A and B are shown apart, each in its own frame.
Chain A
Amino acid sequence: MHAHDGGPVTTAGARHQRAPAIWIFILMDCSSFGLLFLVFMIERMRQVALFDQSSHHLNAGLGFFNACVLITSSWFVARANVFGREGQFDAARRQLWIGMAIAAIFAVVKVFEYYVKVSAGITVKTNAFFLFYYALTGIHLVHYLGGMVILGILAQGPSPFLPDAEARPHYLRWLEGGSLYWHMVDLLWIFIFSILYLIGAR
């Protein structure tokens, strides 16, 4: 992506101003999840059999389905960015709404998974694996919900309270920041899916 692609937003000065906030947030968030993954790995090395056995209670099919859901949702968010940079804000908003509608399926599946687990008596107290299962997927779900709120705000389009010349670049900055966050949520799920659902698969 070159400096002239995004119109007035993408001047060198604006880039310099907009970059750190979202990137620092993503850096901090990835660090937090990295620590969680590390602790999970250490604990798993100590109790390999228990973790393997417990992971067989997870439905890898649902995890895979949710990975596809988030990847598809991210695709629409990426499309929204392309349209946004071309100045087609209505098209960008439509892509965001479609992306959100698809992403909503993720929450439905996740709640269903929790319901099935809790109904079967599998809770956070069951063993160390399920403590990590609920912690990792729960924290990820909170990130997901935050992302849905951000996408929902972005789907409203440029602010009507700002002059047009100011609102559009402002919107593009937020669109890119929100999209980056959404891609992070997607990427984190791919790792969570692999360590919880796949590694212990039969």
Chain B
Amino acid sequence: MTGKLLAARNAWVLLLVISAVSFLAAELVGQRTVAIAAIMIIAAVKIAVILVRFMDVSTAPVAIRRYLYVWTGAVAAAVIALWQVSATAG
């Protein structure tokens, strides 16, 4: 297996593990903080490892690339804000 294929597999395993952590934390342990943090890590890994490493995100125009990074960060922040509101109300 070549280096790139190995790296893709490792990224996949990492994403699955983080997904499992988020699910177990939210559903079984009731730790929404961990669940939401895990989801944010998934998004970051997805962008950083899969897109940058394998999908040649560097070919995107700089403005669009920045926009997508900001978008991911903004949605992640929105999810955290949602969780915060939900936790406060709960």
Q: Which residues of B contact A202 (CB under 8 A)?
A: 27, 30
Output the residue of B8, B15, B19, B59 with the most chain A CB within 10 A.
B59
Check A199/B46 contact, CB under 8 A, given A48-B89, A75-B8, A194-B22: no
Show 9 residue pairs from A and B whose CB-CB distance is below 8 angstroms, ordered by the A residue: A23-B64, A34-B74, A38-B78, A44-B86, A75-B12, A78-B11, A79-B5, A195-B79, A201-B27
- From A38, A75, A200, B86 is in contact (CB under 8 Å) with A200
Q: A72 to B12, Cβ gap below 8 A?
A: yes
Binds B, one of A105-113, A123-131, A178-186: A178-186
Within A15-33, which residues are at the interface with B (CB < 8 Å)? 15, 18-20, 23-24, 26-27, 30-31
Q: Which residues of B contact A6 (CB under 8 A)?
A: 56
Q: Which residues of B contact A200 (CB under 8 A)?
A: 86
Q: Which residues of A contact B (CB under 8 A)?
A: 1, 6, 15, 18-20, 23-24, 26-27, 30-31, 34, 37-38, 41, 44-45, 48-49, 51-52, 60-61, 64, 67-68, 71-72, 74-75, 78-79, 81-82, 86, 176, 179-180, 183, 186-187, 190-191, 193-195, 197-202
Q: A199 to B61, Cβ gap below 8 A?
A: no
Q: B43 to A191, Cβ gap below 8 A?
A: yes
Q: A194 to B68, Cβ gap below 8 A?
A: no
**Contact mask for chain B residues 50-90; partner A; CB cutoff 8 A; 1 contact, 0 none:** 11011110111100110110011011001101110110011
